[in-house]
Amino acid sequence: MKIGVIGGGAIGLLFAGYLGRLFDVTLIVRRESQVRSLVENGVTIHKNGSAITTRVGAAQEFEVQKELDLVIVAVKEYDLPFLRNKLVELGSHLPLMFVQNGVGHVEWVKALPHHHLIAGSVEHGAMKDNDVTVHHLGEAGTNIALIRGNGRVIEELVSKSSASFPFSIQQDFEEMLLTKLFVNVLINPLTALTGVTNGKLVDNPFFHGLQKDLFNEMLLLFPQMEGNISFEKVVDICRNTYLNRSSMLKDIESQRRTEIESIIGVLLEKAQKEHHFVPIMNLLYQLVKGIEREGLGG
C-alpha cells in the first residue's frame, strides 16, 4: 500500500517513521529544505533510549510522483482550509484520514467530495526534535473510524500494524473523537498554562483537581459520554505520556498559534447556545488566548 502523510510535524514524522517500515510512505511537507533532509536522512524515532531510522519518500506541496492508496492528513486543524484545493485535486476516489485534535474540523471534512473519509484519534506522545527526528514519549495507539465510505484501507492498516504502533478500528467516529476531545481538554490547556509535562498534571493535587472539574464540565456538554469515558482513562493517558509536553505547550513556548479554538473555543459556543455554565473552561480559554496574543505580537 502506498501512503502519503501530509505534515512534517511531530505526528507526521511519527506516522511516516513507523508506517514506512511496513508500507511505501511519502511525507508531504511545505519546505524544500525538509524534503532534502528527509531524502538524505530518513526519519529517526527515539524511544526508551534507542533509535530507529526509516527511509521514506519526501515531496513538497503534493508533488508526488506516484498513485497513492491513502493520504493521512497530519497538519493542525487551522491549516486544513489551505489544503482543500490540493486534496480535491488528488481525486475524490482517494481515501483520506484526518488526525486533528478537537471536533471543529468534522463538518469541514464531511463537506469534501471524497468518497472515503476516515477519522483518526492519536494517543501517542511525540515531540519533534528537528526536520527528521521525533521522540516517541508515550507508546499508546491510534483509533480509527469511518466517517463514510468503505474500510478496506483501515482494515489493512490494522492487520499489518506493529505492536509499537498499533491501530484499532472503532465503530462510531463521533464517540471516538469526543473521547479524544475529553483528553485534549483535560491536558492541553493546563499544560500550556503551567508549563508541566502530562504526567505532572496527575501528580500535582491542585492541577489534578482542575482536571476533575473540567471533566464534570465536559459531561455537562456531552452527557451521552457518561459511561463511554471515565476520568481514570484520562489519568492513565497522562501517566502513559508522562514526559510528553503537549502540542499546545510547545506552541506557547514557540510563540505559535495554538489549537485552543478547535479544542475549547467550539465548546464555549456550544455551552452558550445550550445555557451551560463552564467557568473553568472559559477561564482556560481566555488565559491561553491572552498568552497566545502576547506571543504573536498582539
**Catalytic sites, residue numbers:** 180
Q: Is 233 helix (H, G, I), strand (E, B) or coil?
A: helix
- Chain center to CA of 215: 20
User: What is the edge-to-edge ordering of all strands in the sheet holding 43-47?
Assistant: 50-54, 43-47, 133-138, 125-130
- Across the chain, the runs of DSSP E, i.e. the strands, are 2-6, 24-29, 43-47, 50-54, 57-60, 70-73, 96-98, 117-122, 125-130, 133-138, 142-148, 167-169
Distances (CA, A) of 294 to 48, 77, 253, 273, 281: 36, 21, 12, 29, 20
